[in-house]
Amino acid sequence: EVQLVESGGGLVQPGGSLRLSCAASGFTFGSYVMSWVRQAPGKGLEWVSGISGSGGSAYYPDSVKGRFTISRDNSNNTLYLQMTSLRAEDTAVYYCAKGTTYYDFWRGSDYWGPGTLVTVSS
């Protein structure tokens, strides 16, 4: 059974940093692209980063480029999201999501974790 479990969320002050983790199990982790998708309270979904199966290619939208860094440890089946220079508008539930292919994160994510809440506030 595929399982994704996020951790690391919490309350952080504006300008602060936070690292999220996602523990994966039940599939060959290194064979699939992984993404982070967030959802602000009462709002829609927003993709914030994607990383290829090997970890060699990473992608970001302009809204987080230069502030967020996605990485993965295929030996420990874990996905990470390092977030810096956090802003109030980064407040959201952050989901870890498994892609359906090795590289094309945009082709859909078939498994999602329950999410971890990040609150940016003073």
Partner 1 sequence: QSALTQPASVSGSPGQSITISCTGTNSDVGRYNYVSWYQQHPGKAPKLMMSDVSNRPSGVSNRFSGSKSGNTASLTISGLLAEDEADYYCSSYTTNSPYWVFGGGTKLTVL
What percent of the chain is helix, strand and coil (3-state, nearest 5)?
5, 50, 45
Q: Are 13 and 121 in contact (CB under 8 A)?
A: yes
Q: Is 104 in the site for partner 1 (CB under 8 A)?
A: yes
Nearest approach in angstroms of CB 87 to partner 1 is 17
Question: Which token pair is 109?
Answer: 């994510």
CA distances 121 to 21, 53, 91, Å, are: 21, 34, 8
- Closer CB to partner 1, 59 or 77, in the complex: 59
d(CA 113, CA 9): 13
Q: Is 116 in the site for partner 1 (CB under 8 A)?
A: no
Q: Is 80 in the site for partner 1 (CB under 8 A)?
A: no
Q: Give the binding range for partner 1 (CB under 8 A) out of 10-18, 70-78, 80-88, 102-110.
A: 102-110
Of the candidate residues 12, 24, 29, 35, the single one contacting partner 1 (CB under 8 A): 35
Q: Which residues bind partner 1 (CB under 8 A)?
A: 35, 37, 44-47, 50, 59, 61-63, 65, 95, 97, 100, 104-110, 112-115
